[in-house]
Structure 1
Amino acid sequence: MFKHWGQAVVIAALGVGAVVMAALRISSAKAFEAPQTWVGTAETIKFLDSGDQLIGLRVEGYPAPIPVFYSGSDTIEKASLIAVSGRIKPDSFPGVGDLTISTEDIDQLEPTTGYSAWVNQVRDGFSQAVEETVGESSRGLIPGMVLGDTRLQGSIEAQTYIDTGLSHLSAVSGSNVAIVVSSVVVLSYFLTAGPRIRVVASLLSLVIFVSLVGFEPSVLRASVTGIVGLLAIINSSRMEPMHGLSLSVICLLFYDSNLAVHYGFLLSCAATAGIVMLQPLLYRAIGPPLAVWKVPDIVVRAFAVSIAADLVTIPIIALMARQISLVAVLANVLVELAVPPITLLGLIAVLASLLPWPVEYPLLKIIEPFTWWIHHVAKWCQQLPNSTLEISAGWAGIAWACMAAVWVVVIIYKGYVRTLAVCCVCFFLFGAWNNRLPAQIDPTELRFVIIADDSELTDVPEHAELIIVEDPHGSMSDRPIVTREGIPVLYPYRDGEVSLHIDGTQHAADGRF
């Protein structure tokens, strides 16, 4: 930074400007007079485990999207004009705005039109093609990895990717942008295109990609961080990558001050900074030991990138989820080679789905083995003993996680890579021995009763030895459920596979209890 003090001054001045902009937006939000009926655009829509919809309502004159918790039965279309009336509550989450709305009544005034309607049509058509073509293990991943559309992912599948550090694959992230742009750069190079043509082709591919997935804040964030990460790798000798990242972050905060408190934004920036700063150091440290074991260089680089991104994001994940994945590096390395084919062939399949002929179906069939592999790697890693580590509440747990991440970097840098690898193997083996389970009970040998939802629990016959609830709604259980009489209650459509054991305990297949 001291070699380029001019850039440092520019970044500092822009940073102050971003702070002033955020202060003005907060002041504008506090001065806004709340109407009886809020009319605005449904900017984002997320389906919660409870069955409710969380809608980001963009109201003219209000400087930030307003979170609307909608418990009605109608499905709201993204980018449509809606009218909301309900109970206003203070927002406990920090940000520009300070209120949320809870309602059961939303009127859709105008359907989505123009570009937004086209994007919705593309997503719906591609999602339908995926459902008709590929198996269950691939249906949720393909739309998520290509377009950031996770509607086909159930809560159990989503939790699997969270526990194994692969949830970033199911969202439009900087890695998607880097894969698309770098692929075009490489292709242009082999076609002997000049530097200017490569730049134009890369920008054109980025425009096509963003046009397909939509101009949402998460997409813009991914585009910026992905380009910065790519430039840091291919052009680090002629630029200061951290300066580029800093400028990108500040520009994004000028665009939307609320990004400063979004976990997705923090994770993207931290992961990019980790790859820029730590990846070269880790690569030099782990390269020689792994070379002795004849590990290919591409795998060594994948380990360096995954470790760098994982270590710097540990404090944020610990704060966000109160748990960290101990298998994230392993899972990300195992799926590394499967991600680019899915991203590239998936985007081609999206473009093909716009044609009047079913050209996308063979492409989806080619993609399916790659997504099958990622899905089963996630399930296998999740079932490893001690795959996740709970972080205690409060800042002490966060501080412990930060110190652990720093010590891992120091150990690798000092050359104790083999010792660290042996300790990790021993840790998982001890967990496997310590977590061994008693013999299982076959549920079909018990007198079981199947009910629709919890309201029928009081009507269960006295002779029942097991209750199975079909209702898929609600949050996933973090402990075994039994009635007052001690009868086990299973929610297979919500909690996934749960086994019964002869000692009376229950154990979820994903290790939650």
Structure 2
Amino acid sequence: MTELRLIPAAAVMWMAVAALILSGTWKISAGLLCVAVLVSCVFKLWGQTLVIGALSAGATLMAALRIHSAREFPPPQTWVGNAETIKVLASGDQLISFRVAGYPTPIPLFYSGDEAIEKASLIAVSGRVQTDSFPGVGDIVISAEDIDVVEAATGYSAWVNHVRDGFAYAVESSVGESSQGLLPGMVLGDTRLQDPLESQTYIDTGLSHLSAVSGSNVAIVVSAVVLLSYFLTVGPRVRVAVALVSLAIFVSLVGFEPSVLRASVTGLVGLLAIINSSRMEPIQGLSLAVIFLLFYDSNLAVHYGFLLSCAATAGIVMLYPLLYRALGPPLSRWHTPDILVRALTVAIAADLVTIPIIALMARQVSLVAVLANVLVDIAVPPITLLGLIAVLASLLPWPVEYPLLKIIEPFTWWIHHVAQWCQQLPHATVEVAAGWLGIAWACVIGLWIVVALHQGFVRELLIGSLLFFAFGMWHNKLPAQIDPSTVRFVVIAEVSEIADVARDKELIIVEDPSGLSSDRPTITKEGIPVLFPYRDGDVTLHVDGTQHAADGRF
């Protein structure tokens, strides 16, 4: 049980830092720490007492100092700092992770202007400072009114931007639309070519971890380098050194996003385990990753992405042996290839432990995530490895990357169309009731699935799933459509004008394209349906009063 010795320290440390950030006071964190230390003393676990106390107190103190530094930071008239990451929102606005010297954490910066901001450039910002609604070390966001580029990215950062821009241009020039958004995202974490509808498709089908760089990409890169070094007959320490260099280059190209940091540290722990695997268990490596990352960035304690990554990794480590023993024998009797059984087991393990977190985060759960992940599993390694070779090839003066991209295109086409097909299945996602009751139901259902699989009810679960989706196909037959031109409708420019619409109208059409696309129909409190054709795309009205989006979101 030595592989479990770091779990209590990592768990208490995580809870203490999260409690401090969420509550804004040290009292709850101190209470958690005292209870944990007291329990360790009662059971005479003196080593645990020391480790839990030292690590939790140190991480909590680090978070408290960062919070104090953020609160005491004097707001300047003009903010000057570096643009670390840039994401284009559905509204067309840019969300910039803005690093200001002296401020302990990046500041969310919203910018609606036309100025193209380059990653890692030094910018001067003037605008409105508001309170951030999301908890964290910092408590401000900036809505930029004006941005001046003081200095473009230089040195290595400029080279990274050149690599990403060159690869994005090569992808746009050589592959079809269904692959353009996915390929740079999977290879370099560059999601600039993904539109909001495409991103939502991957979220609805449980494939969002593939639409940008995640732990699986890091694992594939490190494993490939280690295997290549092995076939070249170099020693274990040289293999580790080469893999470390490859990992460092890969992460610097992708960027230091929270999910990439978690995946990178886990990969580093895995490399250390190669030297002495008998003393480095996977769950111990995950605990070390949590401890290191919470010292590095206190904000990770309240990030859903970090929680999902750690939960999925822990679920695979703990549930995979149990589920494989349960699924292996019955599926082998049906002549199912072992590689497919393993992929199915990993997908189920990761999905079951993340269901409650996703339900809390999004208030909906994907019922097609396991199916989608199994179907696309075979396509991920070729995209990652060949994509990285294509990135290197794009740096050459000759267009040698185009043949590689054409080889990759069928794999990305497959993932994209699997996501679209799974999203359009009946009941692909289900709504979860708000509050802890919905989360509790999600947990109970997940536990019952584990029990059913462990007890050997594989056939019954499979038949039940097929009947569920078959009933959904029959039940999901849409009633007759209503032609909007045959009802009393009104066209307005902005959402704010809805309150002025007469109550005798039967349909409201809003021309404003700004805002995120909705994942549910919109109606007024008087029951008048509201359509956003420039934001939500094609949405149809039906005689039973329902609305249905063409892409299957609702």
TM-score, length basis structure 1: 0.89
Deviation at 1:232, TM superposition (A): 8.1
Asked if residue 154 in structure 1 is aligned to residue 195 in structure 2, the reply is: yes
Alpha-carbon shift at residue 270 of structure 1 (Å): 1.1
1:26-47 superposed Cα distances (whole Å, 9 cap, x missing partner): 1221222222222111122221
Match of 2:376 in 1: 335
Q: Give the one of 98, 107, 116 matched to 1:57.
A: 98
Cα separation, 2, equivalents of 1:487 and 1:104: 36
Equivalent residue number for residue 145 of structure 2: 104
Tell me, in whole angstroms, the C-alpha distance in 1 between the residues paired with 2:3 and 2:413: 49
Amino acid at match of 2:104: P
- Contact kept, 8 Å, 1:173 with 1:223, in 2: the verdict is no
* Closer, same or farther: CA 483–63 of 1 in aligned 2, 3 Å: closer
| Aligned equivalent of 2:440, options 389, 396, 399 | 399
Corresponding residue of 1:348: 389
Q: Distance in 2 between matches of 1:230 and 1:279?
A: 21
Q: CA deviation at 1:502?
A: 6.0
* 1:169 shift after superposition: 0.5
Give the letter for the 1:380 counterpart.
W
Which residue number in structure 1 is paired with residue 87 of structure 2? 46
One-letter identity of the residue aligned with 1:101: I
| Shift of residue 72, structure 1, vs aligned partner | 2.2
- Counterpart of 1:19 in structure 2: which amino acid? T
Q: For residue 376 of structure 1, report the CA deviation from its aligned partner.
A: 0.5
Aligned with residue 142 of structure 1, among 167, 170, 183: 183
Bigger shift: residues 154-163 or 74-83: 74-83
Equivalent AA in structure 2 for residue 346 of structure 1: G
Deviations 1:105-160 (A, max 9, x none): 22221111111111111111111110110001000000000011111111111110
Q: Which of 111, 117, 123 in structure 1 is aligned with 2:164?
A: 123
Q: Once the 2 structures are TM-superposed, how far is the Cα of residue 2 of structure 1 from its aligned partner?
A: 5.2
Equivalent-residue separation in structure 2 for 1:509 and 1:234 (angstroms) = 53
1:57 alignment partner, SS class:
strand
CA contact (8 A) 1:181 1:206 kept: yes
Distance in 2, Cα, partners of 1:473 & 1:21: 40
RMSD: 3.3
Determine the C-alpha separation between the residues in 2 that align with 1:414 and 1:263: 32
Q: Give runs of aligned pairs for residues 390-429 of structure 1, distance below 5 A.
A: 390-429=431-470
Alignment of 1:140-219 (within 5 A): 140-219=181-260
Question: Among residues 89, 94, 103, which one is paired with 2:130 in the alignment?
Answer: 89
Match of 1:507? 548
Deviations 1:152-205 (A, max 9, x none): 111111110000000110121110010111122223333333323322332232
- Check whether the contact 1:164–1:331 (CA below 8 A) recurs between aligned residues: yes
C-alpha distance in 2, partners of 1:380/1:108? 43
1:387 to partner: Cα distance: 0.5
- Percent of paired sites with the same residue: 75
Task: State the SS of the aligned residue for 2:60.
Answer: helix
Per the TM alignment, residue 504 of structure 1 is displaced from its structure 2 partner at its CA by: 6.5
Gap runs ≥5 in structure 1 = 459-464
Residue in structure 2 matched with residue 323 of structure 1 by the alignment = 364
8 A contact 1:42–1:58 mirrored in 2? yes
| Pick aligned residue for 2:430 from 365, 368, 389 | 389
Contact 1:446–1:466 (CA under 8 A) maintained in structure 2: no
Query: What is the rounded CA distance, in whole Å, between the counterparts of 2:208 and 2:215 in structure 1?
Result: 13
Task: Flag the 1:228–1:396 CA change in 2: closer, same or farther, 3 A.
Answer: farther
What is the aligned partner in structure 2 of residue 378 from structure 1? Answer: 419
- Please give the alpha-carbon distance, in whole angstroms, between the structure 1 residues aligned to 2:399 and 2:90: 34
Q: Secondary structure at the match of 1:271?
A: helix
Q: Deviations over 1:459-478 (max 9, x none)?
A: xxxxxx99998875432134
Q: Distance in 2 between matches of 1:287 and 1:229?
A: 27
The correspondence for 2:404, drawn from 363, 369, 376, is 363
Q: Distance in 2 between matches of 1:254 and 1:475?
A: 34
Letter of the structure 2 residue corresponding to residue 45 of structure 1: I
**C-alpha displacement of 1:432:** 1.5
Q: TM-score, normalised by structure 2?
A: 0.83
Matched, 1:268 2:306: no
* Structure 1 position 349, deviation (Å): 0.5
Distance 1:229 1:315, change over 3 A: farther
Distance 1:480 1:246, change over 3 A: closer
